Amino acid sequence: MPDSSSPPSPNSPWENGWTPDSSRAPGTRRLWLAGALALTTVLTCVATIAVMDKSSDETSPANQADPTSPIGADGPGLLSFASPSKKSTPTPDEHTPASATATTPSAATAKHSSTPSAKAPAPSKSTAPQGSSSGSSSSSSSTLRSVRSVNYPDRYWQVSGDYVKLNPISSATARGAATFKLVKGLANSSCYSFATADGGYLRHRNFILRAERNDGSSLFKQDATFCPRTSSYSGAVMLESVNYPGRYLRHQNFQLKLDQYQNSGQYRADSAFRLVDGLD
């Protein structure tokens, strides 16, 4: 059956008893509520940030007062720039043996000193005449002598050309070149000079021992004079230069030379000689 009722009038009230408010647009109330909620949220965030900043400012002086506090002691993310510990630089006692620190410069240089130490003094200046190995005495003004090495007992001083070498003797010619006339020192009568068979003498020149003719000069006489000193080897002597005190005749590479005294066993052996009966 068709509905013959007419639609309600726009000006008539609804069933609930109120009429729409046509003076404002729909949804305005919701917009106001949303705006108020957003404003409240923003104010809450601002207040929270302000409180956190104030708390951070209050705790920061304490952290600055103790820069060595560990990271994270007052909260995560706080960096610490601690000053270096005093233990970062080792003391000498930590890494250096006590024996090394107790070494004195005098003890370190004593091993390489070229001068004699108190325990090993230089040869004493004994000028007593030295006899031969057979026990004969050189009491006469001149005696035939040969000079034998202590550490090379099969080798003798021998004139070889213009120089004096330490050679083994194996012929009559070699025996003659290894025999000298031991005379009083040309520059000091309490010392020795060694005359050769042809009338020359052994003298040092440029600190090398050689055989040369006497030119009568004062320098030659001094160069050809050697003073006997007590050796650490029994029956042996060391021969010190009269014009270069502290330098002694020694062999080196079997060459006779004048060398500065050294506090070593090698030097004392190389400079020790026995004056024996002449080989010729």
Round to whole Å and give the CA distance between 223 and 238.
16
Q: Which of 18, 48, 69 is the last residue of a domain?
A: 69
Residue 49 lies in a domain: yes
| DSSP letter assigned to residue 146 | E
Pairing of strands 208-212, 201-205: antiparallel
H/E stretch holding 237: strand 237-241
Same structural domain, 59 and 178: no
Residue 200 has pLDDT above 90, yes or no: yes
Q: Are 127 and 242 in contact (CB under 8 A)?
A: no
Same structural domain, 178 and 62: no
At residue 117, the pLDDT reads 38
CATH of the domain at 262: 2.80.10.50
Same structural domain, 54 and 161: no
Query: What confidence tens digit (pLDDT) does each residue in 54-73 have?
Result: 665 555 444 444 444 444 44
Residue 172 lies in a domain: yes
- Indicate the number of domains in the chain: 2
At residue 18, the pLDDT reads 55
- Name the phi and psi angles at 42, rounded to 5: -65, -45
Range of the domain at 63: 31-69
Q: For residue 216, give the nearest of 243, 245, 187 by alpha carbon.
A: 187
Least confident of 97-111, 133-147, 258-272: 97-111
Same structural domain, 166 and 56: no
Which amino acid is present at 28?
Answer: T
Same structural domain, 147 and 243: yes
Residue 126 lies in a domain: no
Same structural domain, 147 and 60: no
H/E stretch holding 110: helix 105-110
At residue 33, the pLDDT reads 82
Which residues, including other chains, have CB under 8 Å from residue 210's CB and lie 6 or more apart? 162, 163, 164, 202, 203, 204
Residue 13 lies in a domain: no
pTM check: above 0.75 = no
- Rounded mean pLDDT of 238-259? 97
182: helix, coil or strand? Answer: strand
Residue 44 lies in a domain: yes
Same structural domain, 146 and 271: yes
| Residue 265's pLDDT band (cuts 50, 70, 90) | very high
Q: Which of 40, 69, 98 is the last residue of a domain?
A: 69
Residue 1 lies in a domain: no
Same structural domain, 157 and 59: no
Q: Which of 49, 69, 89 is the last residue of a domain?
A: 69
- Locate 268 and state its tokens: 């004392």
- Rounded mean pLDDT of 4-31? 59
Same structural domain, 61 and 157: no
Residue 132 lies in a domain: no
Residue 272 lies in a domain: yes
Same structural domain, 153 and 62: no
10: helix, coil or strand? Answer: coil
Same structural domain, 65 and 146: no
Q: Are 158 and 167 in contact (CB under 8 A)?
A: yes
Same structural domain, 264 and 147: yes
